[in-house]
Chains A and B, each alone.
Chain A
C-alpha cells in the first residue's frame, strides 16, 4: 500500500475501518449460524409436534368405547339345549348370540326380515355373545332369567357415536306439521311452504321445487312424536317418507315439537345407515348407551374385531422377550466389556474383536433375524414365535451396543481409583470388581436401558422367527406363541377396518410411553448415581 495507490476519487478504507467491516462480517456469520441452528431445531420441533399431534389426535378416541346396557332374556332353549345346566356343556352347545338378538328385537319390535335382523344385530359387537357366555358360565342360575348387562357396541356404531361416520346437524321445526300415519310410508304436511327449506339448505340441496332424496344425497330425517321419518321427497310444504322408528301418534304437531336431523355424508358412503343411526340415537336418548374408558385395550389379546382387540398379549410378549434379552445381555455384555477393557492383552486379536463388535452394532437388524432362524429354529429346534427365541435374537442385536456403552463407562472411571486399590494391595480382579465396576455401573445401566429401549422397538428380526403373527391367547411362558408391541402396531396398521387405524395410533402411544419411561429411567440413573471427576 503506497501513497500513489491512494486514488483521489474513492478514499481507501483505513485499516481500522477494514477491521470493523471484518468484525461485522464475522458477527453476521455467527448470527447467521445461530439462525440456522435455531431454524433446524424449530423444523425438528415442528416435525415432532406434527407426528405427536397426528398420533394423539388419531389415537385418543380409541381409549374410549361405547357400551349398550340392555335387558337380555337368557332363554334356556338357546343357551342350554340339553337342559343340564352344566357350564362345560353350555359353553360348547349354547348359542349365546340368540339372547342378544332377542334382546334387541324386544327393544325394536317389528324388524322381522332377515336383512333388518342383520342390521339390528350389527349395532352390537359380535363379542356380545361372548360376554354373556362368560357371565352365564360364572353363574349358571341366570339361565331362564332376564339379565341386565352392558355389552360392547360394534366398531361402526362406536365410530358413529364418535362422530367419525358423518357430520350431523339438527334444526327445530318452525311451523306446525301434520303427520298422516305412524308407520310405513307417511305424508308430512307443514303449515308453511318454507318449513323444510332450512333443512334442505343445510344439506346443500335446492330448497324450492320438488326434491327427491336418495342414498347418494345427504339424509334428512324428521324426529316427531317419538318416532323418526326418513324423507324421500320434499315439495314445498309437503313431504313423504318412511318411518325408521314408528311414531307414537299421528295428526297435528305444534311448531317446535318436531325437528329435522341432517346427516351430511350420503347413506351410500356410510357404514352406519340411516336405520341403524335411528336405532342408535333412540338407545342413546333412552340413556342406554354409555361412553367409558376402553379397559379392553389393556386387558384383551388380539382380535379381528376392532372393538374387542387389545394389546395385553403384545405387552406381555414384549415383557417376556425383553426379560430373556436382559438376562442374557447384561451379564454377557458386562463380562465382555470388563474383560476387554481391563484384562485383555492389547494385541492383534483383541483389536480384531473390538473392530468387529463395533461393526456388529451397525449390522441391519433383519440379518440377526436370519441368523436366529438358521441357528435357534433350524439348528437348535426351538419353537417358532416364542419369546425365548425373540429374546435370544434381540440379545444378539443389542449385545454390541451394551458392550460399547459398558466399555465407555469403564473407561470414564479415573485410573487413580484402580491404582489406589492396587496400591493398598488389592489384586487386579479385586480392584476391578470392588472399585471400578461399582463406579461405572450407572453408565452401564444407562447403556443397557437404552439398548433395551432399542430392542423394545424392533420388528424386523422378529419377522423371520415367526413373531409377526395373529395371536389371541395371552402368552404365559417363554415358549408359548407371542408377539410384541411394535409388531402388533404393524399388523393392525395393515387391516382394512377403519377403527383399527385409531387402535394403531393408540398402541403407538402406549409404545411411546414405555420408551419415554425407559429413557427417563436412564436419565434419572445417570443424574443420581453418576459421579464426575
Chain B
C-alpha cells in the first residue's frame, strides 16, 4: 500500500515536472468572445484540414476575459489570438503595451446583426428603436419630461398603433457580450430618437448614459441565459414574446421565427451588409504580431481568416451566419492583414 501510494504520487509529480519544462508550442491558441467563437472555430477547422499545421484551439471565454488573457504578455504560454465582439478599447491596448504586447494586428472580419425576433405564429410587428427603448428601459421620460420608472405594461401603452399585448422580451443577461450590443445598438440609438432624452443628453450626459445602460427588472424583460437556443425554444412556445439574439440564430431558425423590422428595416443579410439595419455590430479578431514566426502557422491562419473563401461574400462563414463586410472594406482589411499591419493605439477609443 505504502509503495503504491508513493509510486502514484511520484508519477503525478513527474508529469507535473515534465509538463513544466515542455515549453515549445506548435498549436495556435485562440481565446475570447462566444459570439465570434462559431466563426473562428470554422476557420480553425478549415485551417487545420488544409494547411498541414495543427488545428488551433479556440476557447470561449467572453470578450473581456479573452482580452485580459491576451494582454497578459508575450510568450508561448500566452494566447496568440483573441476574438472580440467589439473593438479593442484604448485602455485595453495600453494595458497590453504595458505587458509587452505592443504589436496587435486587427482583423475586422464581418458583422453580426442583433435581432429582435418573434414566432411566425404571432402577429407581425414593426417597431422603431424609440419604441423598443420605451419598452425595455428601466426609467423612461414621464409626461413632464422627468425620468420615471417604466410604467408601460403592454405594447399599446407605448403607442396606440401597436397591439394590446403584454410586453415580454427575452434577452441576454448582463454577463453576456450580446447584452453590451443590446445597450449600444438598440438602447442608445433608441434613446437618441426620443426628444426628452435628447434634451437630457445635452443637460446631463451621465444621466443619459445611465438611462440607456439600464434595463427594467420588473419582469417584462426576461434574462434568458447565455444560451440563445433556449430563447428560440421559448419563442416557439409563446407567440407574444420577443427574443433578442444574433442574426445567425434567426437565420438557422427561419422556419419558426421572423425578425422584427426596426425603424422600417428588416434584419436581412443584405440590409446588415449594406449597413441599413441599425442592429448590426462588427466583429473583430486580434492577433499578436510578436508571435508570428514563433508559433508556426500564425501568419497562415490570418491569411485563411481574411481570405475570400472564408470571410468573402460567398465564403463558408456566410453559411454560418456571418455577414460579410462590403467588398471595398473587405479588400482593405485583407490587404492590411496580409501585411500584418499593427493597429494604431491612437485610433482606438475607450
Stretch at the interface among A202-210, A291-299, A382-390, A403-411: A382-390
Contacts of B316 in A (CB 8 A): 126
Name the A residues within 8 Å of B77 (CB-CB). Answer: 381, 383-384
Chain A residues with Cβ below 8 Å from B253 are 496, 498
**For the complex, what is the distance from the CA of A287 to the CA of B42, rounded to whole Å?**
32
Interchain CA distance A466-B57 in the complex, whole Å: 10
- A92-B50, A384-B29 given; A269·B15 CB < 8 A: no
Query: Quick check: is A331 within 8 A (CB to CB) of the other chain?
Result: yes
Residues 434 to 477 of chain A near chain B (Cβ within 8 Å): 437, 463, 466, 468-473
Task: Please determine whether B9 and A470 come into contact, CB atoms closer than 8 angstroms.
Answer: no
CB under 8 Å from chain A, chain B span 1-24 = 1, 4-5, 8-9, 11-12, 15-16, 18-20, 22
Distance (whole angstroms) from the CB of A303 to the closest CB of chain B: 6
CA distance A463 to B29 in the complex (A): 15
Q: A324-B12, A481-B57, A491-B60 are in contact. Are A496 and B249 (CB under 8 A)?
A: yes
Interface size class of A (residues with CB under 8 A): 35 or more
Could you tell me if A470 and B44 are in contact, using CB atoms closer than 8 angstroms?
yes
- By a CB distance below 8 angstroms, the chain B residues around A335 are 5
B51-84, CB under 8 A of A: which get 1 and which 0? 1101101111100000000000000010000000
CA distance A230 to B12 in the complex (A): 67
- Give the residue name and chain of the A residue nearest to B27 (CB): A481
Report the bound CA distance from A335 to B6 in whole Å: 11
> A residues 108-123 with Cβ under 8 Å of B?
118
Of the candidates A92, A383, A470, the one whose C-beta lies within 8 Å of that of B37 is A470
Which residues of chain B are within 8 angstroms of A468 by Cβ–Cβ distance?
59-61
Partner of A332 from B9, B20, B255 at Cβ < 8 Å: B9
In whole Å, how far is B269's beta carbon from the nearest beta carbon of chain A?
A: 14
Specify the chain A residue showing the minimal Cβ separation from B48: A472
Q: Is A225 an interface residue (CB 8 A)?
A: no
Q: How far is the CB of B319 from chain A (nearest CB, A)?
A: 9
Chain B: which residue is nearest A499 at the CB level? B252
Distance, CA A392 to CA B252, complexed state (A): 39
* B164 at the binding interface (Cβ < 8 Å): no
Q: Let me know if A382 and B20 touch, CB within 8 A.
A: yes
- Asked if A386 meets B60 with Cβ closer than 8 Å, knowing A324-B12, A437-B1, A493-B227, the reply is no
Bound Cα distance A327, B7 (Å): 10
Asked if residues B5 and A331 are in contact (CB atoms below 8 Å), the reply is yes
Q: Which residues of A contact B33 (CB under 8 A)?
A: none
Q: Does B228 contact A (CB under 8 A)?
A: yes
Tell me whether A478 and B19 are in contact in the complex, defined as CB-CB below 8 angstroms, given that A304-B41, A330-B8, A470-B58 are known contacts: yes
* Residue among A388, A463, A469, A473 with the highest chain B CB neighbour number at 10 A: A469
Cα(A384)–Cα(B22), bound, Å: 13
| Shortest beta-carbon distance from A63 to chain B in Å | 21
CA distance A494 to B54 in the complex (A): 25
B38's contact among A92, A303, A304, A324, by CB below 8 Å, is which?
Answer: A304
* Bound CA span A472–B255, Å: 30
With an 8 A cutoff between CB atoms, is B223 at the interface? no
Interface-central residue, B37, B226, B246, by most chain A CB under 10 Å: B37
In the complex the two chains form, is B19's CB within 8 Å of A496's CB?
no
- Which residues of B have CB within 8 Å of A463? 61
B321 within 8 A of A: yes
B162 within 8 A of A: no
Q: Is there an interface contact between B248 and A469, defined as CB atoms closer than 8 Å?
A: no
Closest chain B residue, CB of each to CB of A381: B20
CB distance from B315 to the nearest CB of A (A): 12
**25 sampled A-B residue pairs with Cβ under 8 A:** A268-B254, A270-B255, A331-B8, A334-B5, A335-B5, A381-B20, A381-B77, A382-B16, A383-B19, A385-B57, A433-B1, A466-B57, A466-B59, A468-B60, A469-B58, A470-B37, A470-B41, A470-B44, A470-B57, A472-B48, A472-B55, A479-B18, A479-B19, A494-B227, A494-B228
- A binding-site residues for B, Cβ under 8 Å: 91-92, 118, 126, 130, 265, 268-271, 303-305, 324, 327-328, 330-332, 334-335, 380-386, 388, 392, 433, 437, 463, 466, 468-473, 478-479, 481, 491, 493-498, 501
